[in-house]
Amino acid sequence: MTKNEWAAATTMVGGSVTAVVACAAGIAMDGATGAAVGFTLALVVWNLAMATNIRKRLNILPGLVFAALALRSGQLRARLG
């Protein structure tokens, strides 16, 4: 373990609270469609928060875009061989 479990758990709880609030607001505005939009926005916020935590605490660039950029620039090949 990397001793970053509390940061991840805190971010998950924050994301869950954001999702509940966004769904409630979305339901009030536009019913089921509003809830879906609110939940989608909450997931985007949660993913950005997790990516920020990963970048700051582990110094890793998260995500497929960053992996593709690393492959393209040859960074992974230089580390492996």
pLDDT in tens, 8-44: 899 999 999 999 999 999 999 999 999 999 999 999 9
Mapping DSSP to helix (H, G, I), strand (E, B) and coil, where does residue 32 land? helix
List of long-range contacts for 20-29, beta carbons under 8 Å, 24+ apart:
none
In degrees rounded to 5, what are phi and psi of residue 61?
-85, 110
- Is residue 59 packed enough to be buried (19+ CB in 10 Å), middle (13-18) or exposed (0-12)? exposed
Place of tokens 């758990």: 9
Q: How many domains, in total, are found in the chain?
A: 1
> What per-residue confidence (pLDDT) applies to 23?
95
pLDDT bin (cut points 50, 70, 90) of residue 72 is confident
Two tokens, residue 72? 């393209």
Total-model pTM: 0.72
- Domain encompassing residue 23: 5-80
